[in-house]
Each structure stands twice: as structure tokens, then as C-alpha cells.
Copies of this chain bind each other. A is one copy, B any other.
Amino acid sequence: MADPAYVAVDWGTSSFRLWLMDKDDSILAESRSNEGMTTAAKTGFAEVLASHLAKVNSPENLPVIICGMAGAKQGWVEAGYVDVPTSLSSILTRTAIVPGESRDVRILPGLAQRDQTRPDVMRGEETQLLGALGPASTGSQAVCMPGTHSKWVRVTDGRVTGFSSFMTGELFDAISKHTILSHAVAGAEQTPTDEAAFDSAIKAAYAQPAMATNLFFTARSGQLLHGLTAAAAQAKISGTLIGLEIAGAIAAAGAGVSITLVAAGRLQGLYEAAFKALSLSFNTIDADTAVRGGLAAAAKAIWPN
């Protein structure tokens, strides 16, 4: 086995992922759990990190680079924000050092848009973005990073010019669990996705975003009047939210903008289907590869031996 060179950690709100990396940025070992910021804030950040380092048999003095919510105010050590517009690589010089640790542990900062009418923040996605595009990307593009709070980032020649968060994932959960539509989607998890219902909801919300909260209601009225299935009701809610998000993001970025999707798994499938339904061309970059790429770039910049 090659020599471990550093440890890379993606520490989100609800998930923790750690990789033991060699100097060529290959993965030597991996450890994952649901000890995200919310859990670790109760059980102790240092303890969570130590247990995962032990699991991968990390050598004692290996440095650790972290991105994500561990750097939030409610996290381990506040890592601040770099204000946009800024270069993709600006985060590399603004890491926060975690005090009291025997090894060198650092947390990357987030990005902030301090605009009065469109304030916005991200933590974790800035690292994914750097890994996805590299520090020297050229041209203009809109980068879509779907999730609980989807981020759409406008990047021109290696600079982040602005970004917008959409509460797509979290609204999907809240609507599916805490409104009358919970009855309409009951049992949908046990059946395959209704692709036709998803496509038509994507198109409807994209064409008429103002009707979004009416389109949600049709998941219920469609069931009452037309026997809509639970899978179709769920696809309608998810398609409406994603179609609304894409309509807003494309309006902000400009039609014809080049789209890069940074995603993995189920979300990758949904967003690729959405772009296809809308005849929007796009490139996909794997989200896991992207975040490790950003953490590797940070490790190289901070510990360049």
C-alpha cells in the first residue's frame, strides 16, 4: 500500500465522509457515517473525527483537510466565508486551523454573497466546485449542485460571479411529510418512479413557475378525480420543485448558458432526466470525485511537499 499523505473529510449537516489519501490523490481507505454536524455538535467533533481516523488506521501525524458544515458557526470551528465575486481557488488561502489537536486539522471556508436583495451562502459546495472545474476553468457556465439546498453557481474564467440556493430537497421532504399531500404519496417509496408524470411536471413548472403551488395541489385533486397513483403524485411534487428551480436558475444565468451538473446517485438521475425533458444540454461531473478533487487541491496548496 502506498504511503498515506493526508486525510480528506467532507463534513455535511447530516453526513460524514473521510478518505485516507496518498500523495497522488488516490484513495487508500474510506469511512462514512451519519455523524454530520447535527450529531457531532452533541457528541463532539474531535471524538467523531478520531473514531473515523482510527477506523482507517491513519498514521498519527497525518494532516486533515475538512470542508462543509464543520466550519459553520454551529460547527466545530467557524471557518468564515470568502465573499463573491472571487476566484475558485481563493478558499485555499483562508482555512481555519482547529486548535488543540495534535495533528494539523484545517477547515475550508464557505462562500458568501452579501448582496442586500439576494444574500446567499454555501459551505462544502465551494470545494466541490473547485474540484469539478479546476482552478483555471475558462468560459462561462452555470454549475448545478442539487441537494437539500440546491446551489446554482455562475462561473466565468475561474471566477465565481454569483450564486443562488433553492430549497428544493428540503421542500420536497416537508411537502411529502407535513402537508395533506403525505396521503397522496403514501407507499410511493415501494414503487418505481413515474417518469412520464415527472417529465410532465418538469415541463409544466418550467413553463409556468407561478403555478407551482397549484401544481402541488393537483397531486391531491388528481388522486381524488383521476385515480393518480402515489408514484405519480410523488413524481409531480419532485418534478414541480426541480422544474421551478431550473426555471429560476436559467432565468438568472441567461438562456443558452452552458450547464454543468455536479451530482451522484438518485439526484443525478433526476436532474439529468429534467434537463433532457427541457431539451437543455449539460455535462455531468461526479459529485464524490469533485469534492475529493477540491480537498486534494487544498491539501496540495497547504502542504506542498
- Asked whether B167 lies within 8 Å of A211 as measured between CB atoms, the reply is no
- Asked whether B221 lies within 8 Å of A241 as measured between CB atoms, the reply is no
- Asked whether B217 lies within 8 Å of A167 as measured between CB atoms, the reply is yes
* Known pairs A241-B213, A248-B211, A252-B211; A117 contacts B204 (CB<8 A): yes
Contact with B along A198-235 (1 / 0, CB 8 A): 00000010001111111011100110111000000000
So how many copies of this chain end up in the complex? 2
A244 partner residues in chain B, CB cutoff 8 A: 210, 212-213
Residue of B nearest to A163 (CB): B214
- Asked whether B119 lies within 8 Å of A222 as measured between CB atoms, the reply is yes
Say which size band chain A's interface belongs to: 35 or more
Please give the distance in Å from A186's CB to the nearest CB on chain B.
Answer: 14
The distance in angstroms between the C-alpha atoms of A251 and B121, with both chains bound, is 32
A157 within 8 A of partner (CB): no
A276 within 8 A of partner (CB): no
22 CB contacts below 8 A, A to B, read A112-B225, A119-B218, A119-B224, A120-B221, A121-B221, A149-B180, A164-B211, A164-B214, A165-B217, A165-B221, A166-B217, A167-B213, A167-B216, A168-B213, A170-B180, A174-B178, A177-B178, A178-B178, A208-B248, A210-B247, A213-B241, A213-B245
